[in-house]
Amino acid sequence: MRKRDMHILSAGILMYTSDLRFQVIHPDKSENWTLQIKSPQERDSGVYECQVSTEPKMSLNYSLNVVDCYRRLFTRDNFPVKAFPVAVS
């Protein structure tokens, strides 16, 4: 869940957001779940909550800070390439 707007992004592998940059990764026979955000943007910064449907409910909050700065890199042919740093805590 994205806490700023209380938007449920997924339940299990089912997605409840129309933003195709968000994807849930859950390898077979694994207890690990990953929320992947492709091409993160500064507006994605904030707190995200992972919940487990147990009694009592268990949850963990994760803070995502997307830094909107980039280096301008150039290839040998002088084509610009952007590199975006992302910080997760």
- 10-residue mean pLDDT profile of the chain (89 residues): values are 93 93 93 90 92 90 82 63 56
- Domains of the chain, CATH where assigned: 10-68+77-86 (2.60.40.10)
- Please give the Cα distance from 89 to 82 (Å, whole number): 23
Rounded to two decimals, the pTM is 0.70
Q: What is the pLDDT of residue 89?
A: 47
Q: How far apart, in Å, are the Cα atoms of 43 and each of 56, 64, 74? A: 32, 10, 27
